[in-house]
Copies of this chain bind each other. A is one copy, B any other.
Amino acid sequence: MALLKSKVTISDVAKAAGVSNSAVSYALNGKPGVSEKTRDKVLKVADSMGWKPNSAAKALSDASSRAIGLALAYSPETISVDSYSMALFSGMCTELERNNYSLMLRIIPVGGDTMSIHRDWIADGSVDGVVITNVEIGDPRIELYKQHPEVPVVALADPSVTGGLPTLTSDDVAAARLVVDFLHELGHTHIARVAGPERYGHTFGRDRAFIEETSEMGMHYDCLHGDYSPEAGADCTARLMAFSEPPTAIVYDSDSMAIAGLQTAVAKGIAVPEQLSIVSWDDSFVCRAVTPGLTALKRNVPASGKQLVPMLLRQIAGEQVENELEDPYELIPRGSTAAACVPGGVR
Binding site for B on A (CB under 8 A): 1-6, 50, 52-57, 59-60, 62-65, 67, 74, 76, 79-83, 85-87, 89-91, 93-94, 97, 102-109, 119-120, 122-129, 150-152, 230, 256, 259-260, 263, 266, 284-286, 288-291, 301-302, 316
Contact = CB atoms under 8 A, between A and B. Distances in A.
A94 B80 contact: no
Q: Which of A2, A106, A120 has the most CB of B within 10 A?
A: A2
A97 B76 CA distance: 14
Given A2-B63, A259-B285, 18 more contacts: A1-B63, A1-B64, A2-B64, A2-B129, A2-B152, A3-B152, A5-B123, A52-B124, A56-B59, A76-B90, A80-B285, A89-B105, A94-B108, A94-B109, A97-B108, A230-B288, A263-B291, A266-B291
Given A3-B125, A55-B125, A285-B230, A80 B76 contact: no
26 contacts: A1-B64, A2-B316, A3-B63, A3-B125, A5-B123, A5-B124, A54-B124, A54-B125, A56-B65, A76-B302, A80-B86, A80-B284, A80-B301, A85-B86, A86-B86, A94-B108, A97-B106, A102-B106, A102-B126, A103-B105, A104-B104, A105-B105, A230-B289, A259-B286, A266-B291, A286-B289
A280 to B, nearest CB: 12
A85 B87 CA distance: 11
A289 B291 contact: no
Given A256-B285, A289-B263, A291-B291, A64 B97 contact: no
Contact of A107 (B4, B97, B119, B124): B97
A124 to B, nearest CB: 4
Contact of A86 (B82, B104, B152, B302): B82
A203 B249 CA distance: 44
Contacts of A85: 86
A308 to B, nearest CB: 15
Contacts of A230: 285, 288-289
A91 B109 CA distance: 10
A30 B260 CA distance: 52
A322 to B, nearest CB: 20
B80 A93 contact: no
B4 A150 contact: yes
A11 to B, nearest CB: 15
B74 A90 contact: yes
Nearest to A59: B56
A93 B106 contact: yes
Given A97-B106, A150-B3, A56 B86 contact: no
B259 A289 contact: yes
A98 to B, nearest CB: 10
A336 to B, nearest CB: 13
Contacts of A87: 76, 79-80
Contacts of A64: 1-3
Contacts of A54: 60, 124-125
Contacts of A151: 3-4
A62 B1 contact: yes
